[in-house]
Amino acid sequence: MARLSTHVLDTSRGAPVEGLVIDLHACVEGQRRHLKADATDANGRLLLADELPPGVYELTFHAGDYFRAAGVALAGPPFLDEVVVRFGVADPSGNYHVPLLLSPYGYSTYRGS
């Protein structure tokens, strides 16, 4: 089965994001099923699954909570609060790495290695 990991970097500080809570959901027949919640380590990394079957998934990055805890003044409501990335896992033996480059006003993601 596929492996899923992420790495989150705060581009406004130029540093890894420690303690960012991330939810993993499976999307099946239009329904979201919560699989797990965990937080990034001191290097901004998180292994979400060692064995993930093919399918459609979502990662929800709780960016607003991270920035508030870091003392960043956010508008109410913040421009970015929860960043949701929906992606597909096609290769059952693949390594799926979903990095997130994050700031209070923007983000970027891609399939990493």
pLDDT by residue (tens digit) across 86-109? 999 999 999 999 999 999 999 999
What's residue 59's pLDDT?
A: 98
**Closest C-alpha among 74, 113, 75, 83 to residue 101:** 83
What's residue 78's pLDDT?
A: 94
Could you say which residues of the chain have pLDDT below 50? none
pTM score above 0.85: yes
H helical segments located in the chain: 63-69
Cβ atoms within 10 Å, residue 91: 10
CB 8, CB 17: distance < 8 Å: yes
Q: In whole angstroms, what is the distance from residue 7 CA to residue 55 CA?
A: 21
What's residue 113's pLDDT?
A: 85
Q: Does domain 2-109 have CATH number 3.40.50.300?
A: no
What's residue 1's pLDDT?
A: 85
Sequence ranges of the domains in the chain:
2-109
